[in-house]
Amino acid sequence: MRQAIEVRHLLIRLGKAEIIGDLSLDIPQGSIVALLGPSGTGKTTLVKAVMGMNPIRSGSIRVFDKPVPSFAAVSEIGYMAQTDALYEDISALDNLLFFGNLSGVKGKAARERAVELLDFTDLLADRDKQVRKFSSGMKRRLSLAIALINDPKLLILDEPTVGIDPLLRRKFRDQFIRLKQKGCTIFMTTHVMDEAMSCDEVLLMRAGGIIANGSPDTLMRDSKSDNLEAAFLYYISLSERKALS
């Protein structure tokens, strides 16, 4: 299977602190992968590195076999950051059109795509409303819509469901599945176990490294846990034991 993301021996330092050390991973195309780990383990740093927004000290990242950083790689990715990152003074449609235009989607195509996505995220009725007046859920949906405006093959979501209600979270999951069905690869960070459960694969991350990976079922089975949280704790103690020995 072709890899959507290929990370090899990645080392990232921000200032003097080593955030990510010798990290390697593969995200297979067409899968939904969750990067699970507590806050401050370097999830966002890793994601940003894939986006080409963090300096790579050593190692390499490839997106659809294109080196990172490059415009070619960036063009394949739809990115949704932790923050909504919306222009609140302009309308939802204008936000979409703006990022669409920047991504090279232009004119009528851009508008059609924007309307399609607004429909997809259930915002069509509010398309001309100033984003300032949106609820946080609507903003989150719009943010997702923007991430999809360039019809990316890889969707990177940094904590997509932080601070949203269970109903919307359910809706998001449904949408991710629909995207996956269209052949989109989804790579998301989360610290919500529940969310990770619905993914094809989970990467357990701690202190700048991947301590375990596999499908939620495999991870739970291998750790003899009945939930992902317990499995996570198991792998943490395992990695600490490894480090000691």
Partner 1 sequence: MRSFVVARRVIRQLFKDKRTLALLIFAPIFVVFLLYTILGSTISSPKVEAIALPDAMFSAFQDETTIVAGADESAAMDDLRCKRTDAVVIYSEPDVTIYIEGSDPSITGAVKKAASAAMASYLKTYVQDTAQQKADEQKKNVRDKIDAQVASIQSDIASQIKEQQDAVQTDIEAQMEQKIDDMKSAIKSEVSSQVKKALKSKIKDAISNAAQKQSAALKEQLSAYQAGVMQTFSQSVQSYGALVQQAIQAYLQQNGIPETGESFSLPAFTPPQIAPPDIKIPKVSVSISAPSIDISDIEIPSISMPTITAPEISSSDIEVPDISISMDVTEVSYSYLNGSDDMSTFDTVAPYLMGFFVFFFVFIIAGVSFLRERISGTLDRVLTTPIRRYQIVMGYFIGFGVFVLLQTVLIQLFMVYVLNVAIKGSFMLVLLTNLLLATGSLALGTFLSAFARNEMQMFQFIPIIILPQVLFCGIFSLREAPLWVQALSRIFPLTYGAEALSDIAFRGLGFSDIAVNLSVLLGFTILFLVLNTLVLKKYRRL
Among residues 55, 67, 107, 163, which is the contact residue for partner 1, using CB under 8 A?
55
- Interaction with partner 1 in 185-244: which residues (CB under 8 A)? none
Among residues 60, 101, 227, 237, which is the contact residue for partner 1, using CB under 8 A?
101
Smallest gap from Cβ 67 to partner 1, in A, equals: 11
* Distance from the Cα of residue 36 to its chain's centroid: 11
Smallest gap from Cβ 91 to partner 1, in A, equals: 8
- If one asks whether residue 84 binds partner 1 (CB under 8 A), the answer comes out as yes
Amino acid 66 reads K
Strands 185-190 and 154-158 come out as parallel
* Distance from the Cα of residue 127 to its chain's centroid: 25
Smallest gap from Cβ 81 to partner 1, in A, equals: 5
Task: Map tokens 């921000």 to a residue.
Answer: 14
Among residues 58, 70, 227, 237, which is the contact residue for partner 1, using CB under 8 A?
70
Distance of CA 66 to CAs 7, 59, 93, 118, 225, Å?
12, 14, 31, 30, 38
- Interaction with partner 1 in 144-173: which residues (CB under 8 A)? 146, 150
Which of 58-66, 85-93, 213-221, 223-231 is the region at the interface with partner 1 (rule: CB under 8 A)? 85-93
- If one asks whether residue 67 binds partner 1 (CB under 8 A), the answer comes out as no
Smallest gap from Cβ 60 to partner 1, in A, equals: 13
The interaxial angle of helices 92-102 and 107-120, nearest 10 deg, is 130
Max CA distance (Å), the chain: 61
**CA-angle at 146, arms to 86 and 152, nearest 5°:** 145
Q: CA 142 to CA 121: how far, in whole Å? A: 7
Among residues 19, 34, 79, 231, which is the contact residue for partner 1, using CB under 8 A?
79
- If one asks whether residue 109 binds partner 1 (CB under 8 A), the answer comes out as no
Smallest gap from Cβ 48 to partner 1, in A, equals: 8
Distance of CA 244 to CAs 111, 220, 222, 230, Å?
57, 24, 21, 21
- Interaction with partner 1 in 33-52: which residues (CB under 8 A)? 48, 51-52
Q: Which residues bind partner 1 (CB under 8 A)?
A: 48, 51-56, 69-71, 74-75, 77, 79, 81-87, 89-90, 94, 98-99, 101-104, 130, 146, 150
